[in-house]
Amino acid sequence: MEKQENNFLNPQILVELANSTMPFGKYKGYRLCHLPEPYLVWFHSKGFPPGKLGIQLATLYEIKLNGLEHLLTPLIKR
């Protein structure tokens, strides 16, 4: 049986989340981890965009909803 890579356990996903920027909209250019929670709640109610960005925003929504955004701070590259 072939071993499947589980991206959920890949810490690189959190590093990318902490350093990726919003490509469009009111917060274009902002780091995703710095997006305000109400913006993420809006996406949650309207639907996250497709693809990687949607996955990142949904993950960030869960992180902020649970008060865990401080875990991303040390991952930000200066």
pLDDT score at 5: 52
Residue 31, in any domain of the structure: yes
pTM: 0.84
Residue 78, in any domain of the structure: no
* Residue ranges making up the domain that contains 23: 7-73
Residue 40, in any domain of the structure: yes
Residue 11, in any domain of the structure: yes
pLDDT score at 2: 46
pLDDT score at 52: 93
Residue 1, in any domain of the structure: no
C-alpha–C-alpha distance, residues 11 and 48, integer Å: 22
Residue 2, in any domain of the structure: no
Q: How many domains does the chain have?
A: 1
Which segments in the chain show pLDDT lower than 50? Answer: 1-4
pLDDT score at 62: 94
Residue 23, in any domain of the structure: yes
Tell how far CA 73 is from the center of its chain.
13
In order, the DSSP letters of 28-69 are TTSBGGGS-HHHHHHHHHH-PPSHHHHHHHHHHHHHHHTT-G
